[in-house]
């Protein structure tokens, strides 16, 4: 049987898809009892993939079976309720179902003509996001892989506009002979911002650095005088403490400067969608651009990042795309709002999550993260541990009675298989960083985590 006939038969018989469903259900049913991080045995089983590529064609079923046998147990159980490491989020059931369907569609989300459904849902999601975040009505959205790429888009737009303010076209003329921009950041800016700035040609030592306070918020009084050549980068949700810059006071200080303000809101921007937490984002709407993830706080599957920008001209010029073969369909063209041309259709899963939850469900889920974080804070304080942050959102930063104990707690919990969290450094001291960001996490999961802390201290 030739290859084409073989693959058509597999497509018609659907055995490979039935097997995929079987393996997926096995994984879902076992997520709560599997090790949150794979044990040494299952990690060693990954060596089975170290083999020479065979000559003959295999069956699709055999490939899937091998992946499930050795791969499923070597995954991190972040879709369960006891992963508290990086702010990864989980995945809502509706989003997984929609992802399966849209994967079968296999849409190229670059153009309207390559996927009308994706282009339509990008427009819908844009309108919904502008509404729930209370952003200016002229704000546009681009759908990218994550906040790192969203930051790159927002800061590329900022770079374009700031140079234009000085009479320079960075797209046509490049950096040689260009005037200098004033890029202002504070010392608790996220690593992805530093990476993005260097990718855009801003050397780290050329930046204007502003100090942060004990919670990782920009010290407003230390922000220098800004003008139309300035780019100021703020933060909604510090990766360690969960703190938010004081946006209202910042904008009062820089009023009339015509500086571009970009807000990195990877997981924290979603606080603006929750009545009880929206005070954290007060004044945020005065910025020029915002970045946020769907796959963190909203619990869409990976990957799902969003750039929001109220200067459409700057964004489209910064991310410009041209080619004789490109055909525009007379509607929204997604590739104009992101760096990628061919790309997967991320807006489909984002739409599904927002449509399923509605405004009430979004508020309930995100507020739940905060409640579980406050529950953890209370339990850790009762154990005699020091909580280092004001738990304003979903992050809990804690340390033991000594640095040795702090590191022992991290090692104990990571090796237990019952939960996973990460170590970090805060004010040059070892600390423990706990992120609550999965819809699956329950009160009982937090109670079990507190018991693990207690056991690690004994």
Instruction: With cut-offs at 50, 70 and 90, classify the pLDDT of residue 142.
Output: very high
Helix (H, G, I), strand (E, B) or coil at 450: helix
In whole angstroms, give the CA distance from residue 208 to residue 119: 39
Task: Identify the sign of the CA torsion 216, 222, 225, 229.
Answer: negative
Instruction: With cut-offs at 50, 70 and 90, classify the pLDDT of residue 328.
Output: confident
Higher pLDDT, 147 or 341: 147
Paired with 17 in beta bridges are: none
Token pair of 57 as six digits: 């064609």
275 has a pLDDT exceeding 90: yes
Average pLDDT over residues 434-446: 98
Strands ordered across the beta sheet of 182-186: 140-144, 305-309, 289-293, 260-264, 230-235, 182-186, 208-210
Which residues touch 443 (CB under 8 Å, ≥6 apart)?
372, 375
Instruction: With cut-offs at 50, 70 and 90, classify the pLDDT of residue 51.
Output: very high
Question: What CA–CA distances, in Å, run from 62 to 14, 68, 105?
Answer: 14, 10, 23
322 has a pLDDT exceeding 80: no
Instruction: With cut-offs at 50, 70 and 90, classify the pLDDT of residue 458.
Output: confident
pTM of the model: 0.96
CATH architecture of structural domain 99-354 = 3-Layer(aba) Sandwich (3.40)
In the predicted model, what is the mean pLDDT of the chain?
96
1 has a pLDDT exceeding 70: no
């Amino acid at each position: 049987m030739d290859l084409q006939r073989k693959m058509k038969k597999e497509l018609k018989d659907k055995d490979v898809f039935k097997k995929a469903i079987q393996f997926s259900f096995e994984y879902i049913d076992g997520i709560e009892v599997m090790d949150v991080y794979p044990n040494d045995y299952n990690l060693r089983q990954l060596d089975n993939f170290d083999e020479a590529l065979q000559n003959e064609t295999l069956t699709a079923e055999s490939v899937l079976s091998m992946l499930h046998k050795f791969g499923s147990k070597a995954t991190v159980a972040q879709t369960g309720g006891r992963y508290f490491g990086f702010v990864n989020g989980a995945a809502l059931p509706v989003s997984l179902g929609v992802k399966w369907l849209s994967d079968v569609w296999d849409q190229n989300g670059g153009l309207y003509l390559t996927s009308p459904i994706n282009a339509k849902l990008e427009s819908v999601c844009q309108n919904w996001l502008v509404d729930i975040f209370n952003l200016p009505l002229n704000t546009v959205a681009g759908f990218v892989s994550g906040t790192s790429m969203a930051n790159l888009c927002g800061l590329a737009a900022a770079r374009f506009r700031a140079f234009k303010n000085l009479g320079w076209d960075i797209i046509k003329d490049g950096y040689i002979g260009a005037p200098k921009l004033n890029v202002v950041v504070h010392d608790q800016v996220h690593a992805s911002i530093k990476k993005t700035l260097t990718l855009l040609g801003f050397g780290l030592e050329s930046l204007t650095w502003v100090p942060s306070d004990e919670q990782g918020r920009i010290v407003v009084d230390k922000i220098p005088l800004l003008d139309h050549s300035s780019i100021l980068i703020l933060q909604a949700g510090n990766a360690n403490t969960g703190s938010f810059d004081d946006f209202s006071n910042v904008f009062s200080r820089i009023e009339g400067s015509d500086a571009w303000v970009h807000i990195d809101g990877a997981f924290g921007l979603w606080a603006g969608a929750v009545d009880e937490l929206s005070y954290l984002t007060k004044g945020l709407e005065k910025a020029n651009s915002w970045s946020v993830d769907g796959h963190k706080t909203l619990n869409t599957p990976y990957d799902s990042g969003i750039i929001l920008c109220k200067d459409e001209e700057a964004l489209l010029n910064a991310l410009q795309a041209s080619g004789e073969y490109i055909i525009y369909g007379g509607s929204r063209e997604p590739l104009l709002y992101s760096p990628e041309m061919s790309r997967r259709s991320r807006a489909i899963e984002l739409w599904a999550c927002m449509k399923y939850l509605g405004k009430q469900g979004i508020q309930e889920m995100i507020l739940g993260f905060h409640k579980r974080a406050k529950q953890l804070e209370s339990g850790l304080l009762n154990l005699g541990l020091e909580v280092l942050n004001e738990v304003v959102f979903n992050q809990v930063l804690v340390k033991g009675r000594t640095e040795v104990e702090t590191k022992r707690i991290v090692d104990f919990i990571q090796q237990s298989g019952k939960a996973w969290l990460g170590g970090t450094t805060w004010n040059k001291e070892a600390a423990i960083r706990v992120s609550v960001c999965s819809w699956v996490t329950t009160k009982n999961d937090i109670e079990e985590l507190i018991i693990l802390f207690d056991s690690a201290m004994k």
